[in-house]
Amino acid sequence: MPMTVVVLTLVALSGAAAPASQEVLDRVVSRFNGQIVTMSDLRRCRMLKLLNVSGDTDEAYQRELENRLLILQEASRGGVSDPDAQAVATRRREWEAALGGGPALMERLAKAGMSAEALDSWLANDIRIHAYLDERFRGSPDRPQAVAHWISNLRQRAGLR
C-alpha cells in the first residue's frame, strides 16, 4: 500500500510540473502558397536587419517577409539567373557596413541562428529580387506605385490581407 501512495504522489507532482515546464519555442505566423513564416523568421530579420521595413512591429516584418517570398516565387517562374559570387560578395559588404561591420557580426549571425551560407543565399535572393523588379517594371512611369499594386495583387491571390 505505501508504494501505491508514492507512485500516485509522483504522478500527481509530475502532472502539475509539466505545464509549467513547457515553453513555446516558435510559432507559425503565416501560411500561404506552400510557404511558412515563423516568429523566429521575424526575429532573425529584425536582429540582422535583413528587411527594409517601415515601423518596427512584428506585423511590419511579417508583411515584408511575405512580400519577399511572393516576389521570389514570381521571380523563380521568370527565369532570373543566379547572381555571380562577386555580386553576392558586394551585397554582403553593403549589408555588413549597414550593421557597423566588425567581428561582432558573426556573433550576431550565430545568435540569430543563421549560418554564413544562409546569409549569402539571402543576399543572393536580394539581388534576384532587384533584377526581377528591374526587368518587370522597366520603363514604368511610376515604378513604386506599379510595384505596390502588383504586390497587392500577389497578396490577394495568395489569400493574404
| Residue-level pLDDT at 2 | 55
| Residue-level pLDDT at 10 | 42
Average pLDDT over residues 93-102: 91
Asked whether residue 137 is domain-assigned, the answer is yes
- Strand runs labelled E in 59-150: none
What number of other Cβ atoms are within 10 A of residue 160's Cβ? Answer: 17
Asked whether residue 37 is domain-assigned, the answer is yes
The three grid cell numbers given for residue 45, joined into one nine-digit string:
530579420
Asked whether residue 3 is domain-assigned, the answer is no
**Residue 32 clears pLDDT 90, i.e. is over it:** yes
The number of folded domains in the chain is: 1
| Residue-level pLDDT at 20 | 63
Confidence of residue 19 (pLDDT cuts 50, 70, 90): low
Domain that holds residue 50: 20-157
Q: How far is CA 38 from CA 28, 43, 71, 152, in A?
A: 4, 9, 18, 21
| Residue-level pLDDT at 5 | 44
Average pLDDT over residues 26-42: 95
| Residue-level pLDDT at 78 | 77
Asked whether residue 8 is domain-assigned, the answer is no
CA distance 39 to 57: 12
> What's the mean pLDDT when you consider all of the chain?
88
Asked whether residue 14 is domain-assigned, the answer is no
**Residue 1 clears pLDDT 60, i.e. is over it:** no
CA distance 82 to 60: 28
pLDDT tens for 99-145 read 988 888 989 999 999 999 999 999 999 999 999 999 999 998 999 99
Asked whether residue 143 is domain-assigned, the answer is yes
Asked whether residue 30 is domain-assigned, the answer is yes
Asked whether residue 9 is domain-assigned, the answer is no
Of 160, 142, 133, 136, whose CA–CA distance to 65 is shortest?
160
Q: What is the CATH number of the domain that holds 66?
A: 1.10.4030
